[in-house]
């Protein structure tokens, strides 16, 4: 019979960033990760403080961007790698009105650190009206981050591969089979709907498709954004995505969205490419666009960390610390992120 401070259910951004906070603070834990599809694993990993439709920013964007370097340098101390890739977003302008809006917004206090006033012309793609650079934006090397984190926790014996079985919890004695626990934190993304303790929390699936494309020519070293993001993964492998769909809840590839991606790419990339992979998974979104943190109303050692939406990296890194401080130091959660708002 073992004993842990925490069981984490879920090995996406929420689960792993929380695991990092626990490990940093010498808490004992086990992570369960099942076969369920994870949005985190196929995500683009873009960390972008600007909403690229309106050239505005969002709640806590500056705090989130500031914390990014801290958490990834902490993670580097045990995986040996820093996964931040400092290639900023280059947003292709659609018309002159957008350029004007960008320049106007770049004088606003909250956007000054992010909207570069000097526009650039990308060489490898069509951008006749130039492109705007989002200063300080970057992306995470998602493939290597998950590969290394899985391997690190697996080697330390902290990873259980397989689904967590809700029927094996004995809440009276705080036991999971023969494992004694202090707390369980569910970081299950959209699969929270199957969780008998948190199934009523309104996590809404938003399905995303993305492509891996093979391109044999050079592409400017940016996260190029027109309708979707295009950037290099390695050598001639490129990421292009992702789409948004609030309706389709099947796990199948939907040809309509593959077509949307192809049309989107061809609109600004005119040379040859071939599609090597098509992937699809779900973002766990919330109507009020706030993450969900907190404790079950009745069972005080069951918790949830979810609702990271389209910003799994920024929300996941920043709010994993908020979640840890809440769990361990009883620092009160903001009402707008507390799961209590749904009870």
Ligand X SMILES: Cc1cc2nc3c(=O)[nH]c(=O)nc-3n(C[C@H](O)[C@H](O)[C@H](O)COP(=O)(O)OP(=O)(O)OC[C@H]3O[C@@H](n4cnc5c(N)ncnc54)[C@H](O)[C@@H]3O)c2cc1C
Q: How far is the CB of 98 from ligand X (least distance, A)?
A: 21
| Closest to 307 (Cα-Cα) out of 322, 328, 329 | 322
Pick between residue 23 and residue 33 the one whose CB is nearest to ligand X. Answer: 33
Q: Which is nearer to ligand X, 10 or 97 (CB)?
A: 10
Which stretches of 65-146 are assigned E, i.e. beta strand?
84-85, 89-92, 131-134, 138-140
Supply the minimum distance, in Å, between the C-beta of residue 14 and ligand X.
3
* Cβ closest to ligand X, residue 313 vs residue 327: 313
Q: Minimum Å distance from CB 242 to ligand X? A: 3
Q: Which is nearer to ligand X, 269 or 282 (CB)?
A: 282
187 vs 265, which CB is nearer to ligand X? 187
Contacts of 247 (CB under 8 A, 6+ apart): none
Q: How far apart are CB 32 and ligand X at their closest, in Å?
A: 4
Buried b (16+ CB within 10 A) or exposed e, 74-97: ebeeebeeebbbebbbbbbbeeee
Phi and psi, residue 284, nearest 5°: -95, 105
The two structure tokens encoding residue 292 = 């969900």
* Cα-to-chain-centroid distance, residue 5: 25
Q: In this structure, what token pair is assigned to residue 272?
A: 């040859």
Kindly state the tokens that stand for 139.
């992306």
Long-range own/partner contacts, residues 76-79 (CB < 8 A, 24 or more apart): 78/23, 78/152, 79/148, 79/149, 79/152
Closer to ligand X by Cβ: residue 129 or 258: 258
CB of 71 to ligand X, least distance (A): 13
User: Contact positions toward ligand X, by CB under 6 A?
Assistant: 9-15, 32-34, 36, 38-40, 42-46, 163-164, 187-189, 191, 208, 210, 241-242, 281, 283-284, 306, 308-314
- Closest to ligand X by CB, 285 vs 295, is 285
Quote the least distance from Cβ 113 to ligand X, whole Å.
19
Q: Are 134 and 91 in contact (CB under 8 A)?
A: yes
Nearest approach, Cβ of 11 to ligand X (angstroms)? 5
Q: Which is nearer to ligand X, 121 or 253 (CB)?
A: 253
Q: Quick check: 282 and 205 in contact, CB under 8 A?
A: yes
> Residue 172 and residue 101: Cα distance in Å, rounded?
58
Q: How far is the CB of 280 from ligand X (least distance, A)?
A: 7
- φ, ψ of residue 279 to 5 degrees: the values are -125, 155
């Amino acid at each position: 019979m073992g004993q842990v401070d925490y069981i984490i259910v879920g090995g996406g951004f929420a689960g792993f960033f929380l695991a990092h906070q626990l490990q940093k603070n010498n808490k004992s834990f086990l992570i369960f990760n099942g076969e369920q599809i994870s949005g985190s694993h196929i995500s683009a990993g873009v960390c972008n403080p600007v909403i690229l439709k309106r050239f505005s920013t969002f709640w806590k964007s500056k705090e989130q961007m500031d914390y990014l370097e801290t958490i990834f340098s902490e993670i580097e101390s045990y995986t040996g790698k820093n996964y931040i890739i400092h290639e900023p977003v280059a947003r292709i302008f659609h018309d002159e009105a957008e350029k004007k809006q960008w320049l106007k917004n770049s004088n606003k206090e909250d956007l000054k650190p992010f909207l570069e006033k000097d526009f650039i012309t990308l060489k490898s793609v069509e951008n006749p009206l130039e492109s705007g650079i989002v200063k300080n934006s970057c992306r995470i090397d998602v493939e290597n981050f998950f590969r290394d984190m899985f391997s690190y926790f697996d080697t330390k014996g902290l990873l259980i591969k397989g689904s967590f079985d809700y029927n094996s919890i004995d809440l009276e004695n705080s036991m999971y089979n023969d494992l004694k626990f202090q707390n369980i934190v569910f970081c299950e993304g959209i699969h929270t709907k199957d969780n008998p303790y948190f199934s009523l929390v309104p996590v809404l699936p938003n399905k995303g498709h993305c492509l891996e494309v093979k391109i044999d020519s050079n592409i400017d070293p940016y996260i190029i954004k027109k309708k979707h993001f295009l950037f290099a993964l390695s050598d001639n492998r490129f990421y292009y995505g992702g789409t948004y769909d609030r309706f389709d809840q099947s796990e199948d590839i939907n040809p309509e969205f593959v077509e949307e991606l192809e049309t989107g790419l061809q609109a600004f990339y005119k040379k040859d490419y071939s599609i090597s992979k098509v992937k699809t998974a779900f973002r766990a979104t919330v109507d009020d666009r706030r993450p969900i943190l907190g404790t079950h109303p009745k069972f005080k050692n069951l918790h949830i960390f979810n609702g990271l939406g389209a910003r799994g990296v920024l929300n996941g890194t920043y709010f994993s610390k908020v979640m840890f401080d809440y769990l361990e130091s009883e620092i009160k959660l903001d009402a707008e992120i507390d799961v209590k708002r749904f009870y």
